[in-house]
């Protein structure tokens, strides 16, 4: 039986242990990530099947609804053994008081759901199961040219923290897309700070003369690398610094069998 569990009733130790038992487990669905991205999140739980579904919810203009929190690429139903019927039962069990939902379901759940509008989105991934030369041979010629340009630039590797990255992101990449809401800025900082502390995330950067040109946050969890967020200045765009950062990540993990998720 699928039960609706309000925020105060969620056993986070049980939740995280159960998530690790799910065949489609995801870094985004850890309790601490959900706490940072959506304080007050609720859940659907089916103890019989072991399946769970986070309900990322909030209230606006007197209406309770589900939304996709900033930085969380996909959520949905997670379970040890999912099937279309169980997924449909979870979707049907979402409490009626949530009058609207705009959420991203994880990859195995993009099948026979019947709702007002279902949009398929694509997530690009690369299996790092070959040595770096073989992986690079799969790059486009334009990509290889950008890496050569980045290597020829006078850029230095830099160590930066979450606050420096968020400041860089706010004035560069976010600004190019219309800015970032202060609440989302806090979410990004809180997720990165906690992820770094838990050793689930590293931040790599290149710069020149002490100024950051480009930076990239890489999450590592349960056999998957996620290019979580990146930020690049005008100099970084000119020197193709971000291409070098991605290539560095691929080179460092070549032949590991990890899945690189471009998010």
> Residue 203: pLDDT above 90?
yes
Residues 41-100 have pLDDT tens digits of: 999 999 999 999 999 999 888 899 999 999 999 999 999 998 888 888 999 899 998 988
User: Residues 11-20: what's their mean pLDDT?
Assistant: 97
How sure is the predictor about 21, in pLDDT bands with cuts at 50, 70 and 90? Answer: very high
> pLDDT-derived band of residue 101, with 50, 70 and 90 as boundaries?
confident
- Kindly state the tokens that stand for 100: 């609207």
The pair of three-digit structure tokens given for residue 130, joined into one six-digit string: 């070959």
Q: State pTM to two decimals.
A: 0.92
- For the chain, what is the total number of helices (H) and then of strands (E)? 10, 12
Least confident of 31-40, 106-115, 151-160: 106-115
Pairing of strands 63-67, 98-102: parallel
Nearest to 45 by CA among 28, 65, 29: 29
H/E element, 195:
helix 182-197
More confident residue, 9 or 122: 9
pLDDT the model gives residue 85 = 87
Domains of the chain with CATH codes = 2-109 (3.40.630), 125-261 (3.40.630.30)
Rounded to the nearest integer, the mean pLDDT of the chain is 93
pLDDT digits (tens, 9 = 90+) for 180-197: 999 999 999 999 999 999
- pLDDT value at residue 110: 52
Whether the CB-CB separation of 32 and 194 falls below 8 Å is answered with yes
pLDDT at 114: 56
In sequence order, which ranges of the chain are alpha helices (DSSP H)?
Answer: 12-21, 31-37, 84-93, 132-136, 141-152, 162-171, 173-176, 182-197, 234-239, 241-252
With bands split at pLDDT 50, 70 and 90, how would you rate the model's confidence at 118?
confident
Residue 257: pLDDT band with limits 50, 70, 90? very high
């Amino acid at each position: 039986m699928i039960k609706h569990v309000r925020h105060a009733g969620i056993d986070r130790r049980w939740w995280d242990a159960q998530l690790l038992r799910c065949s489609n487990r995801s870094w985004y669905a850890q309790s601490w990530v959900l706490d940072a991205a959506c304080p007050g999140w609720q859940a659907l739980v089916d103890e019989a099947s072991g399946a769970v579904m986070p309900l990322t919810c909030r209230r606006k203009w007197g209406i309770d609804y589900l939304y996709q929190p900033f930085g969380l690429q996909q959520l949905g139903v997670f379970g040890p053994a999912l099937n279309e019927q169980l997924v449909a039962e979870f979707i049907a069990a979402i409490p009626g008081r949530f009058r609207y939902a705009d959420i991203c379901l994880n990859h195995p759940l993009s099948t026979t759901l019947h709702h007002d509008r279902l949009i398929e989105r694509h997530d690009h991934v690369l299996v790092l199961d070959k040595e770096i030369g073989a992986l690079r041979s799969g790059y486009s010629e334009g990509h290889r040219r950008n890496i050569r340009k980045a290597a020829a630039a006078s850029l230095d590797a830099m160590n930066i923290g979450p606050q420096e990255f968020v400041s860089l992101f706010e004035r560069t990449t976010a600004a190019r897309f219309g800015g970032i809401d202060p609440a989302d800025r806090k979410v990004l900082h809180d997720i990165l700070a906690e992820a770094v502390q838990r050793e689930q995330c590293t931040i790599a950067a290149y710069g020149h003369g002490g100024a950051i040109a480009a930076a990239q946050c890489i999450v590592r969890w349960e056999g998957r690398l996620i290019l979580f967020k990146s930020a690049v200045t005008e100099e970084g765009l000119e020197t193709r610094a971000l291409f070098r950062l991605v290539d560095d990540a691929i080179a460092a993990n070549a032949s590991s069998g990890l899945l690189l998720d471009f998010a």
